[in-house]
């Protein structure tokens, strides 16, 4: 493993730790406190470098952090209490960082590997302080992230309102939507359609685990009296999230040819893009269909077979880019010039 960037600063610590009594399994250097707390720990019969940042973060220079997290997770499943832990060295230290600040304790007299007891006998107070600082910083960070999330969510909602005017899905027959005077009181909590008889209802979720989707159907409303005709309109619904807003909307791909784009799947070497579009089929229902988009020609080409879609999405297949009218005209002019020179 590559040498730690703190190795020079820790040389004296390595020496002190190696010459000291065996019970001193961890050593901290508290000078340069503005930079953090440096130290070493005995792990797997080796001296491993540590560095605690002022905000409570900890770097384990001799380990893959994900590997340590996996060890801690498995240990927690088998041993719910910290004083029952079967870990040692750096892995035990990481679990202590997670558990001690939340109120768990470590029993000095626990009959385990002496390395385990010695580690926490020396670092418990330090862990508690670091844990308190970490929780404070995390709280401030979470508060800041919540504020940023609220700002981007409000911006996304405002942008989506402008997006609705660009959507253009099939409207009902002219005599279906007659704009009844008492529409709102007879159809409470149902968004009013536009003048063309289409109601675009977009929901935005700040949770990116909520999948994006879209549906559409011919909706029949309620009339005040039996003799009145029941109003009909198309009700288009879409569920979007902030990942869609960042990856699709901000790239200018949200609406193409009046249709909603749900996902930018892939960009090919020739500049073409593989998108998932909400396409209206027969009647008023919609389906999510893959399409190849040419941003130069501003044209969509539908991918009509599942095998082709899979080859484009997961394989090395690259769709052919069609030339624009100007490119074709340029090629034609170039050919004519070549013919004139050969004449």
Within 165-239, residue ranges assigned H as helices are 183-186
Q: How far apart are CA 297 and CA 256, in angstroms?
A: 12
Cα torsion angle, 17, 20, 25, 28, sign: negative
Residue 125: the pLDDT is: 62
Residue 22: the pLDDT is: 45
And the tokens for 108?
Answer: 């000095």
Q: How far apart are CA 202 and CA 277, in angstroms?
A: 16
Neighbours of 189 (CB within 10 A): 5
Q: How far apart are CA 179 and CA 172, in angstroms?
A: 13
Return the domain boundaries, the chain: 7-140, 165-333
pLDDT beneath 50, residues of the chain: 1-10, 12-13, 16, 19-24, 30-33, 108-112
Q: How far apart are CA 128 and CA 296, in angstroms?
A: 59
Pairing mode of beta strands 273-280, 259-267: antiparallel
Q: How far apart are CA 299 and CA 297, in angstroms?
A: 5
Q: 168 with 198: CB under 8 angstroms? A: no
Q: Which residues of 206-234 are buried (b: 16+ CB within 10 A; e: fewer)?
A: eeeebebebebeebebebeeeeeeebbbb
Q: How far is CA 315 from the centre of its chain?
A: 24
Residue 335: the pLDDT is: 58
Residue 86: the pLDDT is: 79
Three-state DSSP class for 127? helix
Long-range contacts, stretch 283-288, CB < 8 angstroms, 24+ apart: 283/218, 284/169, 284/170, 284/172, 284/216, 284/217, 284/218, 284/234, 285/215, 285/216, 285/217, 286/169, 286/214, 286/215, 286/216, 286/236, 288/213, 288/214, 288/262
Residue 296: the pLDDT is: 85
Sheet holding 26-29, edge to edge: 26-29, 37-43, 46-52, 58-60
Q: 306 with 312: CB under 8 angstroms? A: no
Q: How far apart are CA 271 and CA 322, in angstroms?
A: 11
Residue 76: the pLDDT is: 85
Which DSSP state fits 201? Answer: E
E strands, the chain, where? Answer: 26-29, 37-43, 46-52, 58-60, 198-205, 213-220, 232-241, 255-256, 259-267, 273-280, 286-294, 299-302
Residue 6: the pLDDT is: 42
Q: 108 with 135: CB under 8 angstroms? A: no
Residue 315: the pLDDT is: 78
Nearest CA-CA partner of 280 in 217, 220, 232:
217
């Amino acid at each position: 493993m590559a040498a730690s960037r703190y190795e020079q600063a820790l040389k004296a610590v390595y020496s002190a730790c190696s010459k000291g009594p065996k019970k001193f399994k961890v050593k901290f250097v508290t000078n340069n406190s503005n930079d953090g707390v440096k130290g070493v720990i005995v792990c797997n019969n080796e001296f491993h470098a540590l560095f605690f940042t002022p905000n409570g973060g900890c770097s384990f220079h001799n380990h893959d952090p994900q590997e340590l997290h996996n060890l801690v997770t498995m240990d927690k499943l088998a041993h719910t209490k910290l004083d029952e832990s079967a870990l040692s060295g750096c892995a035990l230290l990481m679990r202590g960082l997670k558990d001690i600040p939340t109120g768990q304790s470590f029993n000095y007299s626990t009959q385990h590997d002496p390395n385990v007891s010695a580690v926490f006998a020396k670092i418990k107070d330090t862990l508690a302080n670091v844990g308190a600082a970490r929780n404070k910083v995390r709280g401030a960070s979470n508060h800041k992230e919540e504020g940023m999330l609220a700002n981007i969510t409000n911006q996304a909602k405002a942008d989506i309102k402008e997006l609705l005017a660009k959507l253009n899905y099939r409207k009902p027959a002219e005599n279906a939507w007659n704009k009844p005077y008492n529409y709102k009181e007879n159809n409470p909590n149902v968004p009013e359609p536009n003048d063309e008889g289409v109601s675009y209802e977009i929901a935005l979720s700040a949770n990116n685990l909520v999948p994006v989707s879209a549906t559409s159907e011919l909706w029949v409303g309620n009339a005040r009296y039996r003799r009145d005709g029941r109003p009909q309109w198309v009700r288009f619904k879409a569920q979007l999230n902030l990942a869609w807003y960042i990856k699709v909307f901000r790239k200018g791909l949200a609406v193409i040819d009046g249709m909603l784009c749900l996902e930018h799947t892939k960009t090919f070497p020739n500049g073409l893009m593989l998108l998932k579009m909400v396409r209206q089929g027969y009647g008023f229902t919609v389906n999510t269909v893959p399409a190849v988009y040419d941003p130069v020609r501003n044209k969509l080409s539908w991918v009509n077979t599942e095998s082709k879609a899979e080859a484009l999405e997961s394989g090395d297949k690259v769709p052919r880019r069609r030339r624009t009218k100007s490119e074709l005209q340029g090629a034609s002019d170039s050919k004519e010039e070549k013919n004139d020179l050969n004449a």
